[in-house]
Structure 1
Amino acid sequence: MKPTVVLVGRPNVGKSTLFNRLTKTRDALVADLPGLTRDRHYGHGRVGSRPYLVVDTGGFEPVVDEGIMFEMARQTLQAIDEADAVVFIVDGRVGITPQDKIIANRLRQSDRPVCVAVNKVEGMNENVVTADFHELGLGEPVAISAAHGEGVRHLINDVLAHFPEAEEEPEDKHPKFAVVGRPNVGKSTLVNAILGEERVIAFDAPGTTRDSIYIGFERNGHNYTIIDTAGVRRRSKVDDAIEKFSVIKTMKAIEDANVAVLVLDATQDVSDQDARVAGFVLETGRALVVAINKWEVATEEQRDRIKREIARKLAFLDFAKFHYISALQGKGVGDLFASIDQAYAAAMIKIPTPKLTRVLQLALERQQPPLSGRIRPKLRYAHQGGSNPPVVVVHGNALENVPASYWRYLEHTFMKLFKLQGTPLRVQFKKSENPFEAKAEKERAKRVHPGRRKQANAAKG
């Protein structure tokens, strides 16, 4: 097993910067603002041949007893309980603070090994800047600069020195699904209901989740990765720099996922923004499951209205399964997995070329492509060109004359006959080379006047 290293410290000491440095990614949001990270954020790191897990946490405020900072502190304490080792990050430019001492006392109460990392020491005398932090009583402080990478390798080598080398784990291909939607529709509550624990902060205020949180888990013997994402509002209402980054991270999470679970609020109308998020999922070609949340508190009038709204505004999602759930009470949440598994299997399906060609011929027997002037496109055979989403490449002649309506007819035919529930499918056309035209071109070249052929050869030389 890989050792788990948890990064802990008060707000704005550079935990997310160090997380990105250790994982060699930009997965954690970084800005010069305190309290940016709120949930636990997991990533994979490696030093030499030694892999490990690293966990970014929110700013630790152990003395608060309510509000969002209390929820962040509770998330940090849960991360410490899961840790094999803790890196306590302090700010070398600010020096030791009363809050650092409180955090150090709390860490001493745990039985986890702790390493103190004195950050932001670039251009400073390391011996002088680390001297004060011996007062924390947590061993020899290590001077680092997370932003510039100075001392980071020395730090992680010290942390991992007491752990045996972990064996390389084989790659596990499993469904990765992103929970997406507008702010405050219950995405984080749904994530917690799926995991069976308060894994991410669910707070009754829009915009609580800022980053995309990747969480691996097992259910009924199968592995999954769930991604909790920030709510996506209309672009005109996104005026905060942090929220703009959050929206970008959500879009990247959708592209990174195999399946998107779109969460709607049963007590509200289906908005244009709901349709835009669904449209982006469709544009990226991701499989989709729709969860209509807060069904337990919706009135009969609201239930009837949202069903009409779905039929009117989300008719283009006819390939997806719809579920009416209560994330708060856990009702209907388990049923989502059958649809997620089905959508994932459909998105990753491998279809042999003979089967695709037979279905293409069947579609042609039922309905030929319409004439374009005096020319009718000829569709000859098909093969699979990709997965997630499935791509069917159709070869033939005069394919530029195939109208959009026939394009959609082929897509629906392939989806229906191969029972591809939950995923979009794309049909691409590729013009076939005519071997007789190539042969005729060679014959014409042979009949070129010898003098001209000599001039052509001289020009090539």
Structure 2
Amino acid sequence: MNSVTFKPVVALVGRANVGKSTLFNRITRSRAALVADFSGLTRDRHYGEGRVGNHPFIAVDTGGFEPVAKDGILLEMARQTQQAIAEADVVIFLVDARAGVNAHDHEIARLLRKTGQRVFLAVNKAEGMRYGSAASEFHELGLGEPHPISASHGDGVVDLIEHALSFLDKEADGNEPEDGAFDLDEANAAFPDMDSDTEDESAAEEPEIHHRIKLAIVGRPNVGKSTLINTLLGEERVIAFDMPGTTRDAIEIDFERGGVSYTLIDTAGLRRRGKVFEAVEKFSVIKTLQAIEACNVVLLMIDAQTEISDQDAHIAGFVLETGRALVVGINKWDGLDSHQRERILIEFERKLRFLSFAKMHTMSALNGQGVNALIKSVNQAHAAAFAKLSTPKLTRVLQAAVEQQPPPRKGIFRPKMRYAHQGGQNPPLIVIHGNALDAISDSYRRYLETRFRTTFKLEGTPLRIEFKSSHNPYIQGAQ
């Protein structure tokens, strides 16, 4: 090839707990990957952008590689790693300097040698050790010169990445790559390919989207979040496995549909706090809550084949508290008879009544039923969350609402509302100015909210109203 047009992809591969996620966080200058002294934290592929010197690149964190896994979650994790290897330009194989070479490392090395990919061997956790002695025994893996590093301290990391990417410049010039990388271009691959704000002021039926929508998919474990993402993408991009808690990290995936750009965030299933026993689960809850706070729209998925639980309500309550736009998807609808469908809708109305602002869809993530309507509501909710509300129109709506139903008196005073303006977006904030507004009741606040929602078509987003009373300067001067 004549030039490197696209950012190269660097996949981090190795057995569990050798420091792949720590290295990922360092080279992407983030804390996007879960890191703790437990094996098996990372399960899906996790992407991030990095740069070393003049080399921008895409890093891929993978789960602990079990190449001989026959079934279960380990097989699904191995398939994710296989996909990362297949799509990478460079593979960095991490081993543990303190644990030394073991049979698992040999098995991974054997398979990597068969892929034909460019592989660099990184000997991690070499801090405090003589680099020569730390790396010497890893020559037996047959993957070229070992590179001693410390992912947690940063020692040798820049040199490793620069060395791993240097072959791209060499190949772009038609030269041979440097020594230190294993190159078997003619080998048969061991693994098969697996494959700022909107300008819409009224949040119309078909909103025009001007920036990427960050969509967090949340819900209890095993409701079908990863299955929905795979259906949207048309590939097994994240692990969808019939076991609760398969996803532990929050995985971000860029995606385009109907000319609209999205970042899909597949999150770990949230359990009740009393059931979060393991440190791993605590990490997952934190990452999910962070994903809710960081997104524009939340898709709350509910399992139609189980009862709507208090935990569903807790998740919805947190979404409401953060002010994020919301769409509700009741999944696995295709497996219910008419009686069961009626029951779940009654439960939804009873337990999640406070989500009346959100659009609710019945769907099947597995076969794609209802998905198009779901995404349309996501777009509408996003437009509503970022709607621009003009001060004159807000004030006219306020005056019309007061004229039709004045606020009740409190004592001898009746609250007087003068004008309204927009105070923020995502969620929309309407600030109302006047006198004695501290006396406005919650029921009257809800009445105003309904009027604003109807006029400005603010379906799918929480709406916050703030009252600001004018103060009499003579009262302060008399004190």
TM-score, scaled relative to structure 1: 0.90
- Give the equivalent residue in structure 1 for 2:156: 151
Q: Per the alignment, do residues 51 and 429 of structure 1 end up closer, same or farther by CA in structure 2, a change over 3 Å counting?
A: farther
Tell me the distance in 2 between the aligned counterparts of 1:310 and 1:37: 34
1:329 and 2:334 are equivalent in the alignment: no
**1:139: how far off?**
2.7
What is the number of residues matched between the two proteins?
436
Q: Which amino acid aligns with 2:117?
A: R
- Give the equivalent residue in structure 1 for 2:428: 390
Q: Per the alignment, do residues 95 and 278 of structure 1 end up closer, same or farther by CA in structure 2, a change over 3 Å counting?
A: same
Tell me the distance in 1 between the aligned counterparts of 2:302 and 2:260: 27
Tell me the distance in 2 between the aligned counterparts of 1:12 and 1:288: 37
Between 172-181 and 66-75, the greater mean CA deviation after superposition: 172-181
- Give the equivalent residue in structure 2 for 1:175: 213
Q: Is the 8 A contact 1:117 1:144 kept in 2?
A: yes
- Structure-to-structure mapping, 1:37-52, within 5 angstroms: 37-48=42-53, 50-52=55-57
Q: Per the alignment, do residues 32 and 402 of structure 1 end up closer, same or farther by CA in structure 2, a change over 3 Å counting?
A: same
- Give the equivalent residue in structure 2 for 1:11: 16
- Give the equivalent residue in structure 1 for 2:324: 286
Between 98-107 and 389-398, the greater mean CA deviation after superposition: 98-107
- Structure-to-structure mapping, 1:435-450, within 5 angstroms: none
Deviations 1:425-457 (A, max 9, x none): 1111223466x759x96xx9xxxxxxxxxxxxx
Q: Which amino acid aligns with 2:14?
A: G
Aligned counterpart for 1:67 among listed residues 72, 87, 99: 72
Q: Is the 8 A contact 1:398 1:431 kept in 2?
A: yes
User: Residue 64 of structure 2: SS of its match in structure 1?
Assistant: coil
Aligned counterpart for 1:361 among listed residues 391, 394, 399: 399
Q: Which amino acid aligns with 1:239?
A: F
Q: Which amino acid aligns with 1:116?
A: L
1:31 and 2:30 are equivalent in the alignment: no
- Give the equivalent residue in structure 2 for 1:409: 447
Tell me the distance in 2 between the aligned counterparts of 1:88 and 1:340: 40
Structure 1: gaps (5+ residues): 165-169, 445-461
1:228 and 2:266 are equivalent in the alignment: yes
Q: Which amino acid aligns with 1:423?
A: T
Q: How much identity, in percent, do the aligned residues show?
A: 61
Aligned counterpart for 1:265 among listed residues 303, 307, 319: 303
Q: Per the alignment, do residues 3 and 300 of structure 1 end up closer, same or farther by CA in structure 2, a change over 3 Å counting?
A: same
- Give the equivalent residue in structure 2 for 1:450: none
User: Residue 36 of structure 2: SS of its match in structure 1?
Assistant: coil
Tell me the distance in 2 between the aligned counterparts of 1:58 and 1:344: 33
Tell me the distance in 2 between the aligned counterparts of 1:107 and 1:431: 69
- Give the equivalent residue in structure 1 for 2:91: 86
**1:357: how far off?**
1.8
Q: Which amino acid aligns with 1:195?
A: L
**1:418: how far off?**
0.1
User: Residue 334 of structure 1: SS of its match in structure 2?
Assistant: helix
Tell me the distance in 1 between the aligned counterparts of 2:53 and 2:439: 56
1:53 and 2:91 are equivalent in the alignment: no
Tell me the distance in 2 between the aligned counterparts of 1:144 and 1:62: 24
Aligned counterpart for 1:296 among listed residues 309, 334, 343: 334
**1:48: how far off?**
4.0
Deviations 1:247-290 (A, max 9, x none): 11111111111111111111111111111111111111111111
Between 48-57 and 186-195, the greater mean CA deviation after superposition: 48-57
Q: Per the alignment, do residues 156 and 437 of structure 1 end up closer, same or farther by CA in structure 2, a change over 3 Å counting?
A: farther
Q: Which amino acid aligns with 2:366?
A: L
User: Residue 379 of structure 1: SS of its match in structure 2?
Assistant: strand
User: Residue 176 of structure 1: SS of its match in structure 2?
Assistant: strand
Aligned counterpart for 2:101 among listed residues 96, 104, 126: 96
- Give the equivalent residue in structure 2 for 1:347: 385
User: Residue 429 of structure 1: SS of its match in structure 2?
Assistant: strand
1:129 and 2:167 are equivalent in the alignment: no
User: Residue 69 of structure 1: SS of its match in structure 2?
Assistant: helix
User: Residue 461 of structure 2: SS of its match in structure 1?
Assistant: coil
Aligned counterpart for 2:281 among listed residues 223, 235, 243: 243
Q: Is the 8 A contact 1:269 1:305 kept in 2?
A: no
Between 295-304 and 203-212, the greater mean CA deviation after superposition: 295-304
User: Residue 396 of structure 2: SS of its match in structure 1?
Assistant: helix
- Give the equivalent residue in structure 1 for 2:464: 426
- Give the equivalent residue in structure 1 for 2:250: 212
Deviations 1:41-79 (A, max 9, x none): 112223345432211100011111111111000000111
**1:176: how far off?**
0.8
User: Residue 262 of structure 2: SS of its match in structure 1?
Assistant: strand
**1:243: how far off?**
0.9
Structure 2: gaps (5+ residues): 1-5, 170-195, 198-209
Q: Which amino acid aligns with 2:430?
A: V
Q: Per the alignment, do residues 415 and 48 of structure 1 end up closer, same or farther by CA in structure 2, a change over 3 Å counting?
A: farther
User: Residue 335 of structure 1: SS of its match in structure 2?
Assistant: helix
Aligned counterpart for 2:226 among listed residues 173, 188, 192: 188
- Structure-to-structure mapping, 1:105-144, within 5 angstroms: 105-144=110-149
**1:195: how far off?**
1.4
Deviations 1:13-41 (A, max 9, x none): 01111111122222211121211211111
User: Residue 321 of structure 2: SS of its match in structure 1?
Assistant: helix
Q: Which amino acid aligns with 1:99?
A: H
**1:338: how far off?**
0.4
**1:163: how far off?**
4.0
**1:3: how far off?**
2.2
User: Residue 406 of structure 1: SS of its match in structure 2?
Assistant: helix
